[in-house]
Amino acid sequence: MDWATAAALPVAGFTARRDLDLLRVGDTDTLLIHGAAGAVGTVAVQLAIVHGATVIGTASSANHDYLLGLSSDLAGQPCEGLSGTSGKWSSACPAW
């Protein structure tokens, strides 16, 4: 890991943690995380799952294998990014 990546990692972790705390994510929640393969998304997926939430993650098809490797508890299959779907994530994520 290079120094720039190492320096940025705590920022992504703090951002994900803060957002999940503000949302009070728990075991009865379903969370849709856009950009789940990005720095903040990667941490958010893992923390949300640890807190018992059902997690649906969006990522480009090039990142689906990476996203599935984050946790076997990820709900369904990763979904393609939702730009152009007018927020209709259920049609972009056929498993849902």
Inter-helix orientation angle 3-23/39-50, to 10°: 50
The C-alpha atoms of residue 81 and residue 58 are separated, in whole angstroms, by: 5
pLDDT bin (cut points 50, 70, 90) of residue 95 is low
CATH number at residue 46: 3.40.50.720
Q: Which domain holds residue 39?
A: 3-81
Whether residue 91 lies inside any domain: the answer is no
Closest residue by Cα to residue 46 from 22, 70, 69:
70
Whether residue 66 lies inside any domain: the answer is yes
- For the chain, how many structural domains are there in total? 1
Residue 25: the pLDDT is: 94
| Secondary structure class of 2 (helix, strand, coil) | coil
Residue 89: the pLDDT is: 46
Whether the pLDDT of residue 39 is over 60: the answer is yes
